[in-house]
Amino acid sequence: MLASRTHLRMAAGLGVAAVLAVLPVGAASAASDVAGPSAEFPRRWHLDFYAEWLAGSGSEADGMPDPSPHTPAATVVLGPGGYLSAGQSAMSPNGWYRLTAERGGRLVLRATDDGLGRYGVLWSTEPAPSAMPLLVMRADGELVLYDTAHPDFGAAASSGDDARLWTAGTRSEAGASLLLGDDGALTVLAPLGQTLWHSGNAAPDVGVAGARHVIYDRGSQWVWLIDADGAMVDNYPVSGHAESPLPGRYSVTSKSQDAISYNWLVTMEHMVRFTTDSNGDNIGFHSIPRGWRDTPVQTEADLGEFASLGCVRQRDDKAERLYQWASIGTPVVVIA
């Protein structure tokens, strides 16, 4: 049984007190600033060790249950033969994402409010200022954006050439549908469920097939959880470091529900370790750390910005989900 979070946070608090007790007055003032919610901690603050020793138990990694979260809910924007006219929109079930066939010829996917204060365009087709768009999910499975103002539009409905503004290239999969998910993913699915095309927050192809895996885009500070069948389970912003860890392929090495920082200043929950730094110290995914008096070191709104020295901070519920979803050995791919 792991030490309770309360005991860990008390230990972190004692660590701060111990540091302050031995520091001169000037340094103590600086250390108190370190404990503020937006301050950056000294080097290696984020690197943790196992907290199990506080309770004298073994690793929690053994026998860890591996529940599979449900695939995010999705709205069927267009079924076979369906269409979206100029000015019409479709929303994801949670209302956070909107797909619009804009007057002026552009198909646009926007984040209206994803729960973290993100707004704006996630994906769009190229603008065509004189066009009046019509998005059609053709009976043959092709998702295509037509210009209804084009003189050859009448013929385009059958031949599909001159009046096209854009196509997803999914023809020959009869019965396909266009879906917009609660995770912001815009996807064309075949009748049997295989993905034919995706955009918006769709995951990059990192060459891992047939295995559940995590993708961490260090440059954009974004994480995707991908199931073995290629379906995207979740994706969300995180806060890591601009240059660490190095791009490459790793795997989950261990997990702890509770962890404490190297220098006892902060505690983290749902730690999922996947590599080490040059000193051999652990780097992993975890919740937003908490310091003195249980104060978060950053806000959820700051996720998406570089804020740590190597580990990857997640919103608390996302950290718990990844912890439950990823088993020991799950591949982790870091891209720059």
Q: What is the secondary structure of 132-189 as a DSSP string?
A: -EEEEE-TTS-EEEEETTSTTHHHHHHH--TTEEEE---TT-TT-EEEEETTSEEEEE
Asked whether 198 and 212 are in contact (CB, 8 A), the reply is no
- The pLDDT tens digits for 315-328 are 898 899 999 999 99
- The pLDDT tens digits for 63-94 are 333 333 456 788 899 999 999 999 999 999 98
Tokens of 80: 């076979």
Residue ranges and CATH numbers for the domains of the chain are: 5-68+208-335 (2.40.440.10), 74-182 (2.90.10.10)
Residues paired with 178 in a beta bridge: 78, 188
Among 245, 207, 243, 244, smallest CA distance to 226 is for 207
Asked whether 272 and 326 are in contact (CB, 8 A), the reply is yes
315/223 Cα distance (integer angstroms): 12
Predicted local distance difference test score (pLDDT) of residue 84: 93
Among 310, 296, 334, 315, smallest CA distance to 240 is for 310
Tokens of 279: 């000193």
pTM of the model: 0.54
Asked whether 313 and 41 are in contact (CB, 8 A), the reply is no
pLDDT mean values, one per 10 residues, the chain (336 residues): 48 44 31 30 34 31 37 86 92 91 87 67 78 89 88 63 82 85 86 76 85 94 90 83 95 95 85 91 94 87 84 91 96 96
Predicted local distance difference test score (pLDDT) of residue 1: 34
162/147 Cα distance (integer angstroms): 9
